[in-house]
Structure 1
Amino acid sequence: MADFDTVVKTRRSVRQYLPTPVPRDVMTKVLDAAQHAPSNCNTQPWQVHILSDEAKDTFSRLITAAYDAGVDTKDFSFAVADYDATYKARARAQGAAYYQALGIPRDDTDRRQDGLRRNLSFFGAPHVALLFAPSVGDNVRVAADIGMYAQTFLLSLVANGLSGVPQTMLGSYAEQARTLLGLPPEMKLLFGISFGYPDTEHPAARYNIGRIPLSHSIVHHSAL
Structure 2
Amino acid sequence: MTYESSASAFRHLLEARRSIRSFLPTRVPDSMIASVLQDAQCAPSNCNTQPWHVHVVSGSSRDRLSQALLAAEAAGRMSLDFSFSANDVHGIYGERLREQGAAYYQALGISREALAERRAASLRNLEFFGAPHAAFLFMPVFGDAVRVAGDIGMYGQTFLLSLAAHGLGGVPQTVLGMYADTIREELGVDPSLKLLFGISFGYPDATSAAAAYRIEKVPFEDSVVFHN
TM-score using structure 1 length: 0.97
Matches within 5 A, 1:148-167: 148-167=154-173
Deviations 1:65-114 (A, max 9, x none): 11111111110000111011211110010001100010001111110111
Which of 209, 217, 221 is equivalent to 1:211? Answer: 217
Show the counterpart of 1:123.
Answer: 129
CA distance in structure 1 between the partners assigned to 2:101 and 2:27 by the alignment: 28
Are residues 1:168 and 2:185 paired? Answer: no
Show the counterpart of 1:179.
Answer: 185
User: What letter corresponds to residue 17 of structure 1 in structure 2?
Assistant: F
Show the counterpart of 1:111.
Answer: 117
CA distance in structure 2 between the partners assigned to 1:10 and 1:125 by the alignment: 18
Matches within 5 A, 1:39-188: 39-188=45-194
User: What letter corresponds to residue 101 of structure 2 in structure 1?
Assistant: G
CA contact (8 A) 1:14 1:206 kept: no
Deviations 1:145-198 (A, max 9, x none): 000000000000000000000010000111111111212211000010000000
CA distance in structure 2 between the partners assigned to 1:199 and 1:85 by the alignment: 34
CA distance in structure 2 between the partners assigned to 1:180 and 1:104 by the alignment: 33
User: What letter corresponds to residue 114 of structure 1 in structure 2?
Assistant: A
In structure 1, list runs of 5 or more residues that go unmatched: none
4+ residue runs over 4 A deviation: none
Show the counterpart of 1:28.
Answer: 34
Aligned sequence identity (%): 55
Q: How many residues align?
A: 222
3-state SS of the aligned residue for 2:159?
Answer: helix
Show the counterpart of 2:4.
Answer: none
Show the counterpart of 2:15.
Answer: 9
3-state SS of the aligned residue for 2:179?
Answer: helix
CA distance in structure 1 between the partners assigned to 2:221 and 2:33 by the alignment: 37
User: What letter corresponds to residue 30 of structure 1 in structure 2?
Assistant: V
The RMSD of aligned alpha carbons is 1.2
Residue 47 of structure 1, CA deviation: 0.6
CA distance in structure 2 between the partners assigned to 1:29 and 1:71 by the alignment: 35
User: What letter corresponds to residue 98 of structure 1 in structure 2?
Assistant: Y
Residue 206 of structure 1, CA deviation: 2.7
User: What letter corresponds to residue 217 of structure 1 in structure 2?
Assistant: S
Residue 205 of structure 1, CA deviation: 2.3
CA distance in structure 1 between the partners assigned to 2:142 and 2:39 by the alignment: 25
